[in-house]
Amino acid sequence: MKKTVLFLCTALITGCSTPPQSNDHHTPPIAGEPISDSNKKAIAALFSLLAKEAKKQWGEDEYIESSKHRYVKYLDGYQTRAHIDFDAGKIYVSTVSQHKPMEKLHKAIVQTVLMPADPKDIEQFTDKDIQLKGKPFFLGQVVDQEGKSIEWEWRANRFAAYMLENKLQSKTIKKGNAYYVQIDMVKDHLAQREYQYAHLVRDASKRYDIPEGLIYAVIKTESSFNPYAVSHAGAYGLMQVIPKTAGADVFNLVKKKPGMPTKEYLFDPANNIDTGAAYLYILKTRYLRDVTNPSSRHFSMISAYNGGTGGVLATFHTDRKKAMVALNQRSPSQVYDALTTKHPKDEARRYLQKVLYFQKDFKEGKI
């Protein structure tokens, strides 16, 4: 397994284009350090407000919220919701409304299957209706009772009627009765989402000299190609970019402009993939440029994308200069072993393993 991983990464880290260059030759600062309290507080406030309103309707036990691999949108005074499990390929549309519940479910099913591909057009922290415009995100990922893609409202309405007549389920919760339907995505739903972003990944790969397979693997690990992904850490979109850390670095070091991206900017898939790939470029060419072995650098930049450069170095020594020396004294397989067994954060240990595992499935030119 170790030899396979090493061979894979050695083959994938080479590039053929010239990315943007940095003029800074001073010792680089450390990226990916603990997220600022203000950033955490801002996203926590949004989640807290949503939870407060939704729990009034659903109760503590039945409350569900969005995460990196799950999208949850509340509607109708928080009494109705769409819950999308991107890993399992399941969509649950539910309501606890006791006033015309079937009408509420019908409307929510239509809005869910036709929800726009651009996440900026959806307010996931409110109960406002989903505005139906542009290409539906689930086009090709969800089909109706006839096996046909759902692109227009007339077909979505007919599908909703079919689901309510044939697939309606109910259960008793503390707040009363809940009615719901389960919609199964097509078997290749993940591949369908991958294909939506193939041109963006290809462009970002060429722009920053980052392998397409690595970008795909990071997206799959971070969000399962869920463009609506949001976390309590304040990370947004497909590559889960945090505005005040990775986002600010990209703006300042690559885009050469002050400030940091907004969440609206990062919810745009093109901006998100560009920013995530640019941050990988920063890790590779700036923060971890002193890692001499290309495979060791590859492992380190993947680990740093999740746990910060400081976490990578702390794996080898408490003193950062000594840590870099110690890292370079190890073989790539020893670096991999250290980062997957001795990294200070358990999540970062698993993260490197996951990304490398997924990267095997995304060889250049696959999509």
DSSP string, 77-127: TTTEEEEEETTTTEEEEEE--SSSHHHHHHHHHHHHHT-BS-GGG--TTS-
C-alpha 345/C-alpha 325 separation (Å) is 21
C-alpha 179/C-alpha 137 separation (Å) is 25
- Spatial neighbors of 201 by CB under 8 A, at least 6 apart, are 212, 215, 216, 219, 273, 367
**Is 62 annotated as catalytic?**
no
C-alpha 262/C-alpha 41 separation (Å) is 15
Instruction: Name residue 99's amino acid.
Output: H
> Could you tell me where the beta strands, DSSP code E, fall in 258-305?
none
Q: How many CA atoms lie within 13 A of 15 on its CB side?
A: 21
Q: Which of these is catalytic: 222, 264, 347, 364?
A: 222
DSSP string, 220-256: HHHHSS-TT-B-TT--BTTTTB-IIIIIHHIIIIIS-
Give me the active site residues, please.
222
